[in-house]
Structure 1
Amino acid sequence: MKAIKLFLKQETANYKKPSSFQLKESYPLPPFSTVIGMVHNLCEFEEYMPMKISIQGKYNSKVNDLFTRYEFKNAMKFEKGRHNIKVGEYGIARGISTTELLVDVELMIHIVPEEQELVEKIYDSFLYPREYISLGRREDLVILDKVEIVDFDEIELEEDKNLRNKFSTYIPIDIYNTNNIKIDRHIGIPEEYRGTMYNLTRDYQLKNYGSKKAPKFFRDWNKVKVIYGSQISFTEDCKVYSDKEDIFVLN
Structure 2
Amino acid sequence: MKALRLKLYQETACYKKPFAFKVAETYPLPPHSTVKGMLHALLEAKELIPMRISIQGRSDALLNDYQTHYFFKKANTNEFALILDGLEMERAYQDITTMPIYSHMLYHVELLIHVHADEAILQEIVKRMECNPTHLSLGRWEDLVRLDEYEIVNIVQAEDDLEDLPYDAYIPEQAIGDTPYFPYQLNWTYRVVQGVRVWDKLRVGYVNAGSHLAAADHLYVDAVGHPVFLP
Q: Same fold (TM over 0.5)?
A: yes
The answer to whether residue 128 in structure 2 is matched with residue 120 in structure 1 is no
Q: 1:233 aligns with which of 198, 207, 212?
A: 212
Q: Which residue in the other structure is 2:3 paired with?
A: 3
Q: Which residue in the other structure is 1:36 paired with?
A: 36
For the structure 1 residues 95 and 145, does the alpha-carbon distance in structure 2 shift closer, same or farther, using more than 3 Å as the test? Answer: same
Q: Which residue in the other structure is 1:162 paired with?
A: 164
In 2, are the aligned partners of 1:55 and 1:108 still within 8 Å (CA)? Answer: yes
In 2, are the aligned partners of 1:127 and 1:147 still within 8 Å (CA)? Answer: no
* 3-state SS of 1:129 partner: coil
Q: Distance in 2 between matches of 1:249 and 1:73?
A: 45
Q: Distance in 1 between matches of 2:39 and 2:204?
A: 21
The answer to whether residue 195 in structure 2 is matched with residue 195 in structure 1 is no
For the structure 1 residues 50 and 170, does the alpha-carbon distance in structure 2 shift closer, same or farther, using more than 3 Å as the test? Answer: same
The Cα shift of 1:198 comes to 1.1
The Cα shift of 1:37 comes to 0.2
The Cα shift of 1:39 comes to 0.1
Q: Which residue in the other structure is 1:66 paired with?
A: 66
The Cα shift of 1:127 comes to 2.6
In 2, are the aligned partners of 1:195 and 1:228 still within 8 Å (CA)? Answer: yes
Q: Distance in 2 between matches of 1:241 and 1:5?
A: 13
Question: Unaligned stretches of 5+ in structure 1?
Answer: 78-83, 183-193, 210-216
Q: Distance in 2 between matches of 1:171 and 1:127?
A: 30
* 3-state SS of 2:45 partner: coil
Q: Which residue in the other structure is 1:135 paired with?
A: 138
Q: TM-score, normalised by structure 1?
A: 0.79
The Cα shift of 1:195 comes to 2.1
Matches within 5 A, 1:93-108: 93-108=97-112
Q: Distance in 1 between matches of 2:150 and 2:105?
A: 25
Q: Which residue in the other structure is 1:213 paired with?
A: none
Q: Which residue in the other structure is 1:190 paired with?
A: none
In 2, are the aligned partners of 1:85 and 1:94 still within 8 Å (CA)? Answer: no
Q: 1:149 aligns with which of 149, 152, 158?
A: 152
* 3-state SS of 1:124 partner: helix
In 1, are the aligned partners of 2:66 and 2:102 still within 8 Å (CA)? Answer: yes
In 2, are the aligned partners of 1:14 and 1:27 still within 8 Å (CA)? Answer: yes
* 3-state SS of 2:223 partner: coil
Matches within 5 A, 1:12-23: 12-23=12-23
The Cα shift of 1:162 comes to 2.4
Q: Distance in 2 between matches of 1:161 and 1:125?
A: 36
Q: Distance in 2 between matches of 1:117 and 1:76?
A: 46
Q: TM-score, normalised by structure 2?
A: 0.86
Q: 1:223 aligns with which of 201, 206, 209?
A: 201
For the structure 1 residues 234 and 195, does the alpha-carbon distance in structure 2 shift closer, same or farther, using more than 3 Å as the test? Answer: closer
* Residue correspondences, number: 215
Cα shift readout 1:56-103 (whole Å, capped 9, x = no counterpart): 0000001111222122344799xxxxxx523xxxx2212321110000
Amino acid at match of 1:198: Y
* 3-state SS of 2:158 partner: strand
For the structure 1 residues 9 and 75, does the alpha-carbon distance in structure 2 shift closer, same or farther, using more than 3 Å as the test? Answer: closer
In 2, are the aligned partners of 1:126 and 1:147 still within 8 Å (CA)? Answer: no
Q: Distance in 2 between matches of 1:143 and 1:2?
A: 23
